[in-house]
Amino acid sequence: MTATPRRVTQRDIARLAGVSQATVSLVLNNRADADVRIAPETRDRVLRVIAETGYAADPVARRLAARFNRIIGVFTYEPAFPSGSRDFFHPFLLGIEEYAERVGCDLLLFTSAPVVDGRRRIFHQDNRLRLADGCLLLGREIDGEELHRLNREGYPYVAVGRRDDAGGPVPYVGADYAAAVAKLVERARAHGHRRMTYLSMGMTAESSEDRQRGYVAGADGAESARHRPADAANADAVLDDLLADRTTVAFVEDFATAVALERAARRRGLSVPGDLSLVTLGDPTSPVPTDLTFTGFHIPREEMGRQSVEVLTHVIDGSATGVQQRLLPCELVEGDTLGAPEPAVDRA
């Protein structure tokens, strides 16, 4: 399949013309700031590069330029840049930046929000949300009361990830976890697995609920389809429980827990996927070294970031039709940790 050519951006035009992106924006909009005079030769050089590259200004960018500051806020309920989570948030931010550049918007990352009861809060004494035309919300769990207030006040926002209604429908761009998990369960059953266990992180976030819903749908009619919490620190105890139950495949919500379970099994002389198959339900939320390619799925994080900005710009400029709610398909990973169960033996 031929790759789709990358869209030429204002940043590309600025680089090729040897000017700033702000200068390109002024030329495109056929105006000059009071404090900035664009020399005719500079304007001609920018226009020549535009003609040579076939650049076409995004229509959303033109609408935003006419009425708004063209500043998009990004609010994260968890810190976006600590070493433990940067690998997870980074693709979202890449997609957000890419589409924001395409429509000529700057990004404003809100980092001064106070932590209350272990979680950041949008609304506080020094809240500066109104500096941005609208805001993207990132986080595993987003406070329902704050979503309710955003809806009530009519402030433009889009949640990255599916969210339940909060005093009205919530605009979001999420991943279709339920469909992805259901497909993985169906694959396990096709391999001959009849006794399975879902290992959760014990969270109540919509993303966790969607995964569990997919598991229940896919496991309907199985001999045994249990559900229990698990974490990497208790991998040996969890493994004991799985063996005692005669579970042959575990669907693991937390990637680090799956890695810890595989190591615990190997220490006992058990094989994965021979003695126990392991299926992961998403990407690592923190770096976890492993030589195995786990069967599971990838979350379309970059595309979620891009489309969340697209939806937000339509909310801001009033061109959105109804409340936009999108679920994007996840990419299934074949991996090496799902196989046919071996005949039952004493595996304890």
pLDDT, residue 60, reads: 52
Q: Residue 294 and residue 278: Cα distance in Å, rounded?
A: 7
Per-residue pLDDT at 306: 96
Position 53 scores a pLDDT of 80
Give tens-digit pLDDT for 133-176. 999 999 888 888 889 999 988 899 999 999 988 888 999 999 99
The two beta strands, 325-328 and 296-298, are: unpaired
User: pTM for the complete prediction?
Assistant: 0.78
Q: What is the set of domains in the chain, with CATH numbers?
A: 10-57 (1.10.260.40), 71-175+301-329 (3.40.50.2300), 177-298 (3.40.50.2300)
**pLDDT value, residue 59:** 55
CA distance 274 to 224: 19
Q: What percent of the chain has pLDDT over 90?
A: 53
Structure tokens that stand for 174 in this block? 């999420």
Higher-confidence residue: 179 or 115?
179
Backbone phi, psi, residue 216, to 5°:
-60, -45
Reported as a pLDDT band with limits 50, 70 and 90, residue 305 is very high
pLDDT on residue 266: 95
Cα separation, 225 vs 197, in Å, equals: 6
Whole-angstrom distance between the N-terminal and C-terminal Cα of the chain? 49
Lowest mean pLDDT among 85-94, 164-173, 311-320: 85-94
Task: Give the bridge partners for 53, in sequence order.
Answer: none
pLDDT band at 36 (very low <50, low <70, confident <90, very high): low
Give the per-residue pLDDT at 30.
62
DSSP string of 236-264?
HHHHHHHHHHT--EEEESSHHHHHHHHHH
For residue 62 the two structure tokens come to 């033109």
List all residues 6 or more positions away from 190 whose beta carbon is below 8 Å from its beta carbon.
none
Q: Tokens 């009361």 appear where?
A: 145
- Write down how long the chain is: 348
What distance in Å separates the CA atoms of residue 36 and residue 290, rounded to the nearest whole number? 54
Report which of 340, 298, 297 is spatially closest to residue 184, judged by C-alpha positions: 297
